[in-house]
Structure 1
Amino acid sequence: MALSREQLAMRVAQELQDGYYVNLGIGIPTLVANYIPPGMDVMLQSENGLLGMGAFPTEESLDADLINAGKQTVTMVKGASLFDSAESFAMIRGGHVDLTVLGAFEVDVEGNIASYMIPGKLIKGMGGAMDLVAGADNIIVTMTHASKHGQSKLLKQCTLPLTGKGCIKKVLTDLAFIEIKDGKFYLLERAPGVSVEEIQALTDGELVISDDVPEMTFS
């Protein structure tokens, strides 16, 4: 069974480590803020000028002036700070973000990512994605494994304009957790109830499969 948006966020949260500075992209990545393990010290950074982003607010704690890069209202944790976007991008470009979580339209076996433009369609635009993929060594992409028309988004070669080249190392889809290296996709985990054969059929790029691919857990 394909993972829900919340399950994707929960699985990404397992990749967090104590002391990390993390940037969460627009869409599914923003949900990760709700699943940071209790007791773990993680500072979430947003390119519009916030370090120390918390979970989404309740109705009682909502502040309409406090938003993330996707214009969603957020909260701040103890020790958070606000600053201008120039300082925020200096953090990103300077390599001070330990983990970046991004959405994407396509990823290929060379670690290239296309995430900002589909010719002929109105898309929000680049945002901070190009800076993030250039300034971070540790990037996880989370997206659906295939389009709504059943076309693979894990390709031999991206067909859309690139956001960055050779920068993606791991991809979490609604079907699988995959590592990219040596020009191939390596299947690390599969969604509960999803077979290796289903994942293979929806993966356009070369997929390396071990003898035993475990199912993801969310505990």
Structure 2
Amino acid sequence: MNRFSREQMAARVAQDIPEGAYVNLGIGLPTKVANYLPPEREVFLHSENGLLGMGPAPAEGEEDDDLINAGKQPVTLLTGGAYFHHADSFAMMRGGHLDICVLGAFQVSATGDLANWHTGAPDAIPAVGGAMDLAIGAKQVFVMMEHQTKSGESKIVPQCAYPLTGIGCVNRIYTDLAVLDVVAGGLRVVEMAEGLSRSQLQEVTGATLFWE
């Protein structure tokens, strides 16, 4: 089955981020999006540990240990970028000042519920971070994740089985198989990996899909 690579997924998300947007990139896959934003497009990347104007990953050997994102990965700071207190960063998130956040997920439901901080397993380590603040505070929530778990179960489900991060907060889902919009009627397929049929996509998706 043909799939989008992680780099293709990141480039596809970057394609949908408009000029002038203020955007938070979550830990994990979403951090790759910073490397695919067109240099001629002005986008203001925010990191919850207190950065605005974050740039792409630095070249090897040019890392600054004091300049990292929320996932502790080395980043760059663009001209005009700023550092500030963690509390100010969360005030931006909670105050509705971010246009888009891109988050990873364990599960997304057919109605846009998001579960991305805990699987509920007894030995799992919860990792709330700023996900709940972002899910509610950002004007649009994009989820970027693999379509299935390592064991082949769909991460797109009728209802989330894991503890929720936010209810009805997800607007668009980007996976290695498709791009889906969460709309009033359910999950609308926007795009699929090349060579993938509608029946193949539906077969590996736990929630009902529709095409316009």
TM range (shorter): over 0.9
Specify the SS of the correspondent of 1:80.
Answer: strand
Q: Distance in 2 between matches of 1:74 and 1:123?
A: 26
2:97 counterpart residue number: 96
Distance 1:169 1:71, change over 3 A: same
Equivalent-residue separation in structure 1 for 2:52 and 2:7 (angstroms): 23
SS of the equivalent of 1:133 reads helix
Residue in structure 2 matched with residue 214 of structure 1 by the alignment: none
Query: 1:101 deviation in Å?
Result: 0.3
Aligned Cα RMSD in Å? 1.1
Q: How does 1:128-143 map to 2 (within 5 A)?
A: 128-143=130-145
Q: Which residue of 2 aligns with 1:216?
A: none
Aligned partners of 1:108 and 1:205 also within 8 Å:
yes
Please report the TM-score for the alignment, with normalisation by the length of structure 1: 0.93
Q: 157, 160, 163: which one pairs with 2:159?
A: 157
TM-score relative to the length of structure 2: 0.96
Aligned to 1:208: 210
Q: Which runs of 5+ in 2 are unaligned?
A: none
Q: 8 Å contact 1:109–1:183 — kept in the other structure?
A: no
Per-residue Cα deviation, 1:87-111 (whole angstroms, up to 9, x for no partner)? 0000011111011100000000111
1:181 maps to 183
> One-letter code of the match for 1:54?
G
Shift of 1:22: 0.5
Give the 5 Å matches for 1:49-198: 49-118=50-119, 119-123=121-125, 125-198=127-200
Q: Cα gap change, 1:39/1:186 in structure 2, threshold over 3 Å: closer, same or farther?
A: same
**Could you tell me how far apart the structure 2 residues matched to 1:121 and 1:181 are?**
35
**Partner secondary structure for residue 149 of structure 1:** coil
**In the aligned structure 2, how far is the partner of 1:76 from the partner of 1:92?**
19
Aligned mates of 1:76, 1:124 — CA distance in 2? 30
Counterpart in the other structure of 1:41? 42
8 A Cα contact 1:22 1:100, kept in partner: yes
Give the C-alpha shift of residue 122 in structure 1.
Answer: 3.0
2:184 alignment partner AA = D
CA distance in 1, matches of 2:4, 2:154: 16
Number of residue equivalences: 210
The residue identity in structure 1 corresponding to 2:67 is: L
Q: Which residue type is aligned with residue 45 of structure 1? A: H
* Alpha-carbon separation, structure 2, partners of 1:147 and 1:197: 19
Which residue number corresponds to residue 18 of structure 1?
A: 19
* Aligned-pair CA distance for 1:194: 1.9
The 3-state SS of whatever aligns with 2:19 is coil
Q: Please state whether the residue corresponding to 1:205 is helix, strand or coil.
A: coil
CA displacement at 1:193 relative to structure 2: 2.2
Identity across aligned pairs (percent)?
50
CA distance in 2, matches of 1:70, 1:203: 29
Residue 155 of structure 1: how far off its partner (Å): 0.6
Large movers: runs of 4+ above 6 Å: none
Which letter does structure 2 place at the counterpart of 1:97? L
1:124/1:27 CA distance change after superposition, 3 Å: farther
Partner deviation per Cα, 1:23-73 (whole Å, 9 max, x = no partner): 000111000000001300011000000001111011242101111000001
